[in-house]
């Protein structure tokens, strides 16, 4: 999938403003408020309808929001991400559309993963992270389709140790969004 050209004005400016506010709020309060995401979704709908007409704009808005939501929802269900992060990514998708939402999600996963590892290493918690991953891996592998061939009992699955911390993922979403916007502009 190739990167689409930069969306028309005022989309890049608006989505940039919303993700920067979300990132700063997530850094300070460790949450992304619903009023922020809701106003961003409403603003995106209004702008998409204004730019593309009611049927096309509403369809583009819905498809983009659904793409952003679907990209992050599995991680929320696995308790690896907060609901505000999922909603923020849906808002980004509503502004940028399906193609860019896929690219933003991928960039966010890479940047968020690298940021998480960097934070864990800087805090000296890498050994605990590796122990937690080792403890959870058999349970995850056991849920795969071919797992029926693997004999594994509940007694063999270790409980993970204490959490090594969390990342304000709104920052990673903002960085991924800005990176994709810059790539689209270039």
User: What is the pLDDT, as a whole number, of residue 159?
Assistant: 59
- Are 135 and 159 in a shared domain? yes
CA distance linking residue 93 with residue 100, whole number of Å: 7
Task: Please report which residue ranges of 78-162 form alpha helices under DSSP H.
Answer: 83-96, 98-122, 126-142
Q: Containing domain of residue 97, as a range?
A: 11-120+167-185
> Is 155 inside a domain boundary?
yes
Q: For residues 101 and 153, state if they share a domain.
A: no
pLDDT value at residue 155 = 45
Residue 90 CB partners (closer than 8 Å, separation 6+):
37, 41, 65, 66, 68, 69, 72
Do 94 and 177 share a structural domain?
yes
For residues 137 and 65, give the distance between their C-alpha atoms in angstroms, rounded to a whole number.
31
Q: Are 171 and 136 in the same domain?
A: no
- Asked if residue 115 and residue 59 are part of one domain, the reply reads yes
Domain assignment present for residue 62? The answer is yes
Other CB atoms within a 10 A radius of the CB of residue 97 amount to 21
160 and 176 fall within a common domain: no
Asked if residue 32 is part of any domain, the answer here is yes
Contact at 8 Å (CB) between 128 and 135?
no
Do 58 and 44 reside in the same domain of the chain?
A: yes
Residue 79: the pLDDT is 80
Q: Is residue 1 part of a domain?
A: no
Residue 5 within a domain? no
| Tens digits of pLDDT across the chain (186 residues) | 788 888 999 999 999 999 999 999 999 999 999 999 999 999 999 999 999 999 999 999 999 999 999 999 998 998 888 999 999 999 999 999 999 999 999 999 999 999 988 988 998 888 888 887 777 676 555 555 554 555 554 445 555 677 667 789 999 999 999 999 999 998
What is the per-residue pLDDT for 143? 57
Q: Residue 66: its pLDDT value, please? A: 98
Count of domains forming the chain? 2
Co-location of 98 and 40 in the same domain? yes
Residues 16 and 92 in one domain: yes
Q: Is 39 exposed, middle or buried, given 0-12, 13-18 or 19+ CB atoms closer than 10 A?
A: middle
């Amino acid at each position: 999938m190739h990167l689409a050209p930069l969306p028309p004005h005022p989309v890049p400016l608006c989505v940039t403003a919303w993700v920067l506010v979300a990132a700063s709020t997530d850094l300070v309060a460790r949450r992304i408020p619903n009023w922020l995401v809701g106003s961003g979704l409403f603003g995106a709908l209004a702008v998409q309808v204004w730019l593309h007409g009611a049927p096309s704009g509403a369809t583009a808005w819905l498809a983009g929001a659904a793409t952003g939501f679907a990209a992050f929802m599995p991680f929320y269900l696995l308790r690896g991400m907060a609901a505000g992060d999922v909603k923020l990514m849906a808002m980004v998708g509503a502004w940028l559309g399906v193609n860019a939402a896929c690219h933003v999600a991928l960039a966010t996963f890479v940047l968020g993963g690298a940021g998480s590892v960097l934070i864990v290493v800087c805090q000296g918690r890498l050994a605990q992270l590796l122990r937690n991953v080792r403890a959870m891996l058999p349970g995850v592998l056991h849920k795969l389709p071919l797992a029926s061939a693997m004999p594994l009992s509940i007694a063999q699955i270790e409980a993970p140790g204490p959490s090594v911390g969390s990342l304000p993922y709104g920052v990673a979403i903002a960085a991924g969004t800005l990176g994709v916007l810059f790539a689209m502009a270039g």
